[in-house]
Structure 1
């Protein structure tokens, strides 16, 4: 089977493995470099790379979970034990989390919207690159992508936005397909 056939098959069947079903192993350092190298090969008007990548794994993910829990408790007051645990494990559910951070900003020639789209393309390329390497991935944001205190803990700078957190690992979870849009409902011809 040619690579073209494999890619088209992937695109026809693409789905997101639930984060709760992602486990180890995750890509090692060399595999991750290959995945990230593929991920950044996206349309980038002006070659300005309006995004950056932050890799979270290991102890830093445990520490972030405690920080997320503190923030959630301060904002929400009393929380159930299950809700507390959900915050603690937010970045340890998968063995690797990759943050794609949009650095889009006003530019003399490149519309900011195009820069934002480029960051989204990095996220999608990362999903495909993980699949090509035999891993699964899920593109998420969740509340931590929009909370000022969580963003500071995550290393996101003022003026930046989270395009996505890509949770990466392995899974043997059978994924049934979900309903997809019918072309007649979303496509028009001018």
Structure 2
């Protein structure tokens, strides 16, 4: 499959679609290596990843549930179940983090963009390897800092849930063609 097909094939594949087949260490290493090739201004390489699997993954889910209960006075049982099931159904969860520049240069938006490009590289690699994945930035994401003991200037932007899946994915859709979103300015 060429790069154009791969980009068009990329989809969000959610934890309820994952099967129990493990993601191999070699696959995970390959996926993470693609992140390191994302473009970034001033070679800051601001992406940081916390890979969580096995029992630690469930401890993270419990930690989030406890913190969320403190933050939200009375979280619904539906929300609790939804949070927990994402972690239980995923083989691997990666906390997507950013290490911000202490000087503020490049600006934070450029650093966040670089992290997003690193995640897109991972997402495309997952697609090529038939591994389902999706990025979620839940409202409680700031609650995980203590779990990971993040360094100064480091913060979490979301979770990248991953798992193998069976079957075919739906074909991609866009509301309109690229032509309706582009203006050309030429001589």
Q: TM-score w.r.t. structure 2 length?
A: 0.83
Would you say the 8 A contact 2:134–2:162 is kept in 1? Answer: yes
Would you say the 8 A contact 1:21–1:173 is kept in 2? Answer: no
Output the CA distance in 1 between the equivalents of 2:84 and 2:8.
35
SS in 2 for 1:53: strand
1:140 lines up with 2:136 in the alignment: yes
Query: RMSD of the alignment, in Å?
Result: 2.4
Shift of 1:126: 0.5
Match in the other structure for 1:159? 153
Output the CA distance in 2 between the equivalents of 1:80 and 1:108.
39
Output the CA distance in 2 between the equivalents of 1:173 and 1:161.
36
Change (3 A) 1:110 1:69: closer
Higher relative contact order (CA 8 A, sep 6+): 2
Match in the other structure for 1:75? 71
Spell out, residue by residue over 1:20-72, the C-alpha distance to the aligned partner (whole angstroms, 9 max, x if none).
21233232222211211122111122222112111011111111111122122
| Corresponding residue to 1:125 among 117, 121, 124 | 121
Output the CA distance in 2 between the equivalents of 1:79 and 1:165.
20
Count of residues in correspondence between the two structures = 184
Match in the other structure for 1:168? 162
Shift of 1:178: 5.5
1:64 lines up with 2:49 in the alignment: no
Change (3 A) 1:34 1:106: same
Shift of 1:124: 0.4
| Corresponding residue to 1:29 among 25, 31, 47 | 25
Output the CA distance in 2 between the equivalents of 1:40 and 1:92.
28
Would you say the 8 A contact 1:66–1:87 is kept in 2? Answer: no
Shift of 1:108: 7.5
Change (3 A) 1:70 1:7: same
Spell out, residue by residue over 1:81-134, the C-alpha distance to the aligned partner (whole angstroms, 9 max, x if none).
333222333423311011221112254863433222111111100001112223
* Structure 1: 5+ residue stretches without partners: none
Shift of 1:80: 4.2
Deviates more, 1:40-49 or 1:108-117: 108-117
